[in-house]
Structure 1
Amino acid sequence: MPVHANAPLPPDSPLPEPLAATPYSAPAWLPGGHLQTIYTSLFIRVPEVTYRRERLELDDGDFLDFDWVDGRPGQPVVVLFHGLEGDSDSHYARDLMASVRQQGWSGVVAHFRGCSGEDNRLPRAYFAGDSAEIERMLRHVKAQHPDAPLYAVGVSLGGNAL
């Protein structure tokens, strides 16, 4: 049964537990987002992740690539939409996919066109407002795991697109 964003939940539906929001305080020796970004890129080890590449051929003659980590059947699936010029090797993608795999879930990095390490066939760029491309990717992932809960995560441009 499809659920629309504004539709109320049926009265007998279990409600998910809310995410616990805790305030963040930067360490005194590492204030500010710029320094934190530089520090983590230089000193924090990011786990290695082995992906299974899937290519979706599109009706327009182009393709989309998906990099999967396979979990246990029936477990949730996490879809990551990367940031500008990101990909499945980005530190945040590897970290998230390693965590997903550790939980026994499946995860996939849905590459925007031209971001999977191979040039696309058409001169079509991706952009944050391309909701049709996001929908196409989500529908494809859901078709692969029709009975599994689906969670989507976006980083930077990927978050805006989502």
Structure 2
Amino acid sequence: MSIYDFVVKTNHGKEKSLADYKGKVLIIANTASKCGFTPQYEELQQLYAKYKDQGFTILAFPSNQFAKQEPGTAQEIEQFCKLNYGVSFPIFAKGDVRGETAQPLFKYLIKQQPFKGFDNNHPNAKGLQDAINTNFPSFMEGDSIKWNFTKFLINKKGEVVGRYEPTTTPAQMTEKIEALLKE
């Protein structure tokens, strides 16, 4: 099984097979418009612009599961991303990414790449950890998505080769992306 076995909904409600991305290096990220990590959209867009012509893309999956930080409609989310960060990579339908109601794709991703902890060198790492422990302690259980802007790196074969928590910026993934593009 690979990510190519999944069909997801676009931001416009149409079904899209992830098999359409065969042979590409991907970042699959759960996103939100009203989060402290929302500026990562800018770095994601920069990576997309730099590598899209080399077989790279980003797939964004908005979720409102984390402190209701993605309350907008599909149209509002798309407008926000384009106006504020110039996002031109695909944005998919808003949905759950953790727990029993999680989209099947995200259940698969977390099984392939379990939670290994936050990057404590990030300036927001301690605040994020404290906020989750105080307000959403169950989020820290198991390998589920812990917060917005968890990023999964997929190789050209559709294999999940990395998981990066919100405390890892997209720019920090550059070296690994470049290596995968050369494979």
Common fold by TM > 0.5: no
TM-score by length of 2: 0.29
Answer 1 or 2: higher relative contact order, Cα 8 Å, separation at least 6: 2
With normalisation by structure 1, the TM-score equals 0.32
Which of the two has greater helix per residue?
Answer: 2
Structure whose CA Rg is larger: 1
